Structure formats: C-alpha cells, structure tokens
Homo-oligomer: A and B are copies of this chain.
Amino acid sequence: MAEPEDSQSAAAWWESAITEIAPGSIRVRGYAIEDLIGRISFPAMIWLTLRGELPTPRQADLLGAVLVAGVDHGPQAPSIAIARMAITCGIGLNSAIASGVNVLGDVHGGAGQQCMELLSQIDAQCRGGAAMDSAVAEALAVWRRQHGRFIPGFGHRFHGNDPRAERISVLMREAVADGVIEGRFVALGEAVRAELARGKTSPPAMNIDGTAAVLLLELGFACELGRGVFVLSRSVGICAHAFEQLQRGERIKGPIPPEIGFQFSGVASRKLPDGENLP
C-alpha cells in the first residue's frame, strides 16, 4: 500500500505556479479572474499567463500586433490544408485545429524561435565583449555549417517584401523612439541583414518570422515562446478555415480532385511466388 508521503508527492508532482484554484475562486498569477475579465486585453492576459507579470499598455499593444500579423496565410500552407481536410473526416473542430497546430514544427512554424535563438547567441557574444560585426559573421557561419544555407527570419519563397514585416518594423521603430523597447535586437537584426546583403544584388529581406522574433526579444520573451506566440496567432486562421470547410459539408476531402489522381512511380504489377513458403 502507498504511504502518506506518496500522496503528498502526488500533489507535488503536478506543482504549478500559473493558476490557483479553490471552490469559487480562480486566480491567474495571483489576480482573481473576475478582476481580469473585462479589464485587461486578451494580449495582456496572454502575456500575464505565459510570463507571470502584467505588461504595460504599450507592451500589450506590441504583442497584439504580432498576434494580428500571423493569423493566416491561405489554404496552401500545410497547417491550413490539414485542418480543412481533417474537418471533412468527421472529427470535432478542436481536433481539426489540433491537426493543424501539430505541424507548426521546426520547419513550418519554428523559424521565429530559431531566429530568436540565433539573435540571442549573437547578443550574448556582444555582451561578452565581441564586436557586433564579427559576432554576426561568426554566428551565421556556424549556423550554415550546422543547418544549411537558409538563415531563419530572412527571405520568403513567395513575398519579396513581406507587408507584415514592413508594418511591424514601423511599429518597432516608433517603440524604440518612445523608449518602450531598447532597440538592442533591432540593431542586431539589421546587422544580420547587412551581412546577408554583402556582395548580393538582391539580398533577402527580413521576413515576418524575423521581424516578430526581433520584437519578441525586445519585449523579453523566451525563445521557445516565439513558437508559442505564433501558434496562438495562427490557430485563429486554422480555426477559420476549418469552420469555412465545415460549412461546405464535403466528406473525406483529399488534397486534389479525385479525377486528377496521383502519379504512381512504383513497381509494376507482379505476382507472389507460388507455394507455401510465404512470409
């Protein structure tokens, strides 16, 4: 039979510092939920829940801008197409959204987090005394050796200049001018862009992942939460597409119209050997 200290350890096993619950009482990071509802904005609530303290109004607005920017990019994104197909297979809206969110992985949704990690490493070098230019060149060389030629946060296979990135940049410059953010990572991002542009006629612009990464670092977010914030933002588009698809009433939607078919490139028709010695 289990000992009493085991029971204590069962409660300790699920220790958490986020939300305190008692009958008739819910406190998020110490604040009674009824004081928060209707008084702070949803981005401020997101900040509080993820990080433990309230932002200032300007900080909450900047987080809100990032959340607005990433909401959707159309049904050709795998996350969106997956959610649309999922809803036609007879699972709930929650499971269709989960199907889309599940694929916002290292390649599809992780560029922001990776860019934050890269800039954080460069920042640590600079704080340790390295010159910014050499720290940037060194970090890019290491990245390319380990991960290939794409630098996360720069370039886009579709948008030459990404309207989301340009708009976020304007908001960031205003926030630097107003002293809301320090501008340290804005400068680092610019240094990376300049290094990538050296000797190129059409250098890659900073994309939305990169711009959001810079802003989230300025706001003090941990790198992993870069991916978290993107998930919260893109979940909106995933939900909207799943719901749009749900209203169509289609069943078992495949990726292309059935009459197009797919190209089979495998082994042509063949026969099992006769006899009993089959595996």
Contacts from A to B (Cβ < 8 Å): 1-4, 6-21, 23-47, 49-50, 52, 54-57, 59-61, 64-65, 67-69, 71-79, 81-82, 84-86, 88-95, 97-99, 101-110, 157-164, 166-168, 171, 222, 224-225, 227-228, 231-232, 235-237, 239-244, 246, 251-272, 277-279
A37 contacts which of B20, B29, B65, B243 (Cβ < 8 Å)? B65
Q: Which of A47, A103, A104, A231 has the most CB of B within 10 A?
A: A103
Determine whether the beta carbon of B16 is less than 8 Å from that of A244: yes
With A18-B237, A99-B99 already in contact, 7 other A-B pairs whose C-beta atoms are closer than 8 Å: A14-B255, A23-B159, A37-B168, A91-B92, A94-B101, A94-B105, A231-B235
Q: Which residues of B contact A251 (CB under 8 A)?
A: 107
Residues of B within 8 A of A168 (CB): 37
Contact B68 A14 (CB under 8 A): no
CB-based contact A101/B104 at 8 Å: no
Closest to A30 in B: B267
Q: How far is the CA of A168 from the CA of B236 in the complex (A)?
A: 23
- If A55-B279, A255-B255 touch, whether A108 touches B89 (CB-CB below 8 Å) is yes
Bound CA–CA A227/B87 (angstroms): 14
Instruction: Determine the residue in chain B with the shortest Cβ distance to A163.
Output: B34
Most buried by B among A46, A161, A222: A46
Instruction: Tell me if B97 and A228 are in contact (CB < 8 A).
Output: yes
Asked if A37 and B73 sit within 8 Å, CB to CB, the answer is: no
Which residues of B have CB within 8 Å of A52?
A: 266-267
Whether A45 and B71, one on each chain, are in contact in the complex, defined by CB atoms closer than 8 angstroms, is: yes
Q: When A7-B10, A92-B91, A237-B49 are in contact, do A21 and B74 touch as well, CB less than 8 Å?
A: yes
Residues A266 and B16 in contact, CB atoms below 8 Å apart: yes
Residues of B close to A47: CB separation below 8 A: 279
Chain B residues with Cβ below 8 Å from A272 are 31, 35-36, 39-40, 54
Contacts of A256 in B (CB 8 A): 10-11, 13-14, 76, 255-256
Q: Is the CB of A92 within 8 A of B78?
A: no
Q: In whole Å, how far is A87's beta carbon from the nearest beta carbon of chain B?
A: 9
Task: Indicate if the CB atoms of B109 and A257 lie closer than 8 Å.
Answer: no
How many angstroms from the CA of A215 to the CA of B2 in the assembled complex? Answer: 39
Closest chain B CB from A277 CB (angstroms): 6
Q: List 18 A-B contacts (CB under 8 A).
A: A6-B259, A13-B257, A14-B84, A16-B74, A16-B265, A17-B244, A17-B266, A20-B74, A24-B162, A37-B167, A37-B168, A39-B278, A42-B64, A49-B71, A76-B262, A86-B103, A92-B110, A93-B228
